[in-house]
Amino acid sequence: MQRIRLRYTKRGRLRFTSHRDFQRAFERALRRAEVPMAYSAGFTPHPKVSYANAAPTGTGSEAEYLEIALTRACDPQQLRVLLDESLPAGLDVVEAVEARTSGLADRLTASVWELRLDGVDPAEAARAVAAFDAAEAVEVQRTTKNGVRTFDARPAVVHLESLDTADEVETHSSRADRPTDQPCAILRLVVRHVTPAVRPDDVLSGLRAVADLAPPVPAAVTRLAQGLFDEETGTVTDPLAPDREAATAPTEAEPAAAAPAPA
């Protein structure tokens, strides 16, 4: 059995698809591409697909991950092309590697988000970010099936900044789901994956609580990356890098040079 790990995107209008919608579309793509999937046992076998930390409905993403199990070896790049052609535009498979290490889900410990706040002055956003950073605690509320839950969103936020120059906007928002021709504030956010999960809308609720920042229209949210958070550099690393490195590492030591024949 071979395991393949995929990175896919949710772009444009497809950001409004739910995780269940994507599951159905992906399983249809597997059948359409005739992927030799491994199936579970039991009365209702289903393809062995492991989804990891899917983005909330309504948010775009450049970094969604899943793993599939195959019954025979396939070339990851050919598989990527076949699946990408079988999915609707916006759900794009952009990378595929053979799983040579364990614990993909364990390497998804933080996310990088971009929040576009149309109609918000960048200076106002910068003041709100400063107030959020200075706060020791930022209590927010979320409605759940068990009622309203109150929790502190501040500890999960590793980094929050407002991008206020034209160069930063052009550089950092090129992959976002909204056009850049209208004035807006752009926030960059790094959040740890903790319990309870702190989502971008929770951070927006926190900005409203500490600085009365209330965008006139819903924010356009895009996940730019997710992976293991590096404490030393403060960056989020690529979770597929260990698999690529394992694929290029030598599998065994080079044979020793033959001893010279006696004269």
Higher pLDDT, 145 or 87: 87
Sign of CA dihedral 91, 94, 98, 103: negative
pLDDT at position 80 over 60: yes
Query: Which ranges constitute the DSSP H helices of 6-70?
Result: 19-32
Average pLDDT in the chain: 89
pTM of the model: 0.86
CA dist., res. 128 & res. 213, Å (int): 7
As given in the structure block, the two tokens for residue 52 are: 């990891």
Q: In this structure, are residues 47 and 4 in contact, taking their beta carbons and an 8 Å threshold?
A: no
CA dist., res. 192 & res. 108, Å (int): 9
CATH 3.30.70.580 spans which residues of the chain? 2-106
Tens of pLDDT, residues 173-201: 444 555 555 668 999 999 999 988 999 99
CA dist., res. 67 & res. 227, Å (int): 15
Tens of pLDDT, residues 231-240: 888 899 999 9
Strand partners, 110: 192, 227
Exposure class string for 187-199: b at 16+ Cβ within 10 A, else e: bbbbbeeeeeebb
Tens of pLDDT, residues 202-224: 999 999 999 999 999 999 999 99
Sign of CA dihedral 204, 207, 208, 214: negative
Tens of pLDDT, residues 8-53: 999 999 999 999 999 999 999 999 999 999 999 888 899 999 999 9
Sign of CA dihedral 241, 244, 247, 253: negative
Fold designation for 108-236 = Alpha-Beta Plaits (3.30.70)
As given in the structure block, the two tokens for residue 219 are: 């924010």
Sign of CA dihedral 56, 60, 62, 66: positive
> Percent of the chain, pLDDT > 70?
87
Q: Rg of the Cα trace of the chain?
A: 22
Neighbours of 127 (CB within 10 A): 14
Q: In this structure, are residues 51 and 19 in contact, taking their beta carbons and an 8 Å threshold?
A: yes
Would you state the CATH architecture of domain 2-106? 2-Layer Sandwich (3.30)
As a whole number, mean pLDDT of residues 148-161 equals 94
For 6-10, 18-22, 94-98, 141-145, which range has the lowest pLDDT when averaged over its residues? 141-145
